[in-house]
Chain A
Amino acid sequence: MRSGINSVFSFARLGALLIKEFIQMRRDRITFAMMLGVPLMQLVLFGYAINNDPKSLPAALVAMSSDPYTRAMVSALQTTGYYRFDHVVQSAAEAEFLMARGDVAFVVTIPTDFARRVERGDQPQILIEADATDPAVASGAISTLGTVANHALLRARGMQETAAETARGQLEVVVHRRYNPEGISQYNIVPGLLGVILQMTMVMMTSIALTRETERGTMENLLAMPSSPLEIMLGKVLPYLVVGAVQVVVVLAAAKLLFGVPFTGSLSLLLSAVLVFVLALVLLGYTISTMARTQMQALQLTFFFFLPSILLSGFMFPYRGMPGWAQIFGEILPLTHFLRIIRAVMLKGADLPAVATEIGWLVVFVALFAGVALVRFRRTLD
Chain B
Amino acid sequence: MNAIDVHGLVKRFGDKTVVDHVTMTVAEGEIVGFLGPNGSGKTTTIRIMCGLLTPDEGEGTVLGFDIRSDSLRIKREVGYMTQKFSFYEDLTIAENLEFVARLYGLKPLNEHVGRTLEDLGLTSRKDQLAGTLSGGWKQRLALAACIMHKPRLLLLDEPTAGVDPKARREFWDEIHRLASGGLTVLVSTHYMDEAERCHRISYISYGKMLATGTVDEVVRNAGLTTFVVQGPQLDRVAAALSGRSGVDQVAPFGATLHVVGSDRKALKAALADVEKHHKGVTVSPGETSLEDVFIQFMSDSKDNMG
Contacts and interface: CB of A to CB of B under 8 A. Distances in A.
Interface string A332-358: 000000000000000000000000000
Contact of B105 (A13, A219, A382): A13
A217 B86 contact: yes
B102 A16 contact: yes
Given A23-B95, A225-B103, A226-B76, A28 B82 contact: no
B75 A225 contact: yes
Interface in B44-83: 47, 50-54, 71-73, 75-76, 78, 80, 82
Contacts, number: 91
A220 B104 contact: no
Contacts of B53: 380-382
A5 B105 CA distance: 6
B87 interface: yes
B84 interface: yes
A268 interface: no
Interface in A1-48: 1-6, 10, 12-13, 15-17, 19-20, 23-24, 27-28
Contacts of B98: 16, 19
Interface residues of A, number: 32
B86 A380 contact: no
A379 to B, nearest CB: 8
B106 interface: yes
Interface in B90-116: 90-91, 95, 98-100, 102-108
A227 interface: yes
A12 B100 CA distance: 11
A16 B88 CA distance: 13
B85 interface: yes
Residue with the highest number of chain A CB atoms closer than 10 Å, among B78, B104, B105, B107: B105
A320 interface: no
A287 B82 CA distance: 26
Given A1-B106, A3-B105, A226 B52 contact: no
A65 B84 CA distance: 85
Interface in B232-285: none
Contact of A381 (B52, B95, B108): B52
B102 A15 contact: yes
Interface string A48-79: 00000000000000000000000000000000
A224 interface: yes
A24 B88 contact: yes
A316 B54 CA distance: 48
Given A1-B107, A20-B99, A220-B52, A226 B87 contact: no
A225 B52 contact: no
B194 interface: no
B104 A226 contact: yes
A162 interface: no
Contact of A20 (B75, B82, B91): B91
B188 to A, nearest CB: 15
A176 interface: no
Contact of A27 (B76, B90, B100): B90
> Which residue, B54, B82, B102, has most C-beta atoms of chain A within 10 A?
B102
A381 B99 contact: no
B89 interface: yes
30 contacts: A1-B105, A1-B108, A2-B104, A2-B106, A3-B105, A6-B76, A10-B105, A13-B102, A13-B105, A15-B102, A19-B99, A20-B95, A23-B91, A28-B90, A217-B86, A218-B86, A218-B87, A220-B52, A220-B82, A220-B84, A221-B86, A221-B87, A223-B52, A224-B75, A224-B80, A225-B104, A226-B104, A227-B103, A380-B52, A380-B71
Given A2-B107, A3-B107, A216-B88, 20 more contacts: A1-B106, A1-B108, A6-B73, A12-B102, A12-B105, A13-B103, A16-B98, A16-B102, A19-B99, A27-B91, A218-B87, A220-B82, A221-B86, A224-B52, A226-B76, A226-B103, A227-B103, A381-B53, A382-B53, A382-B54
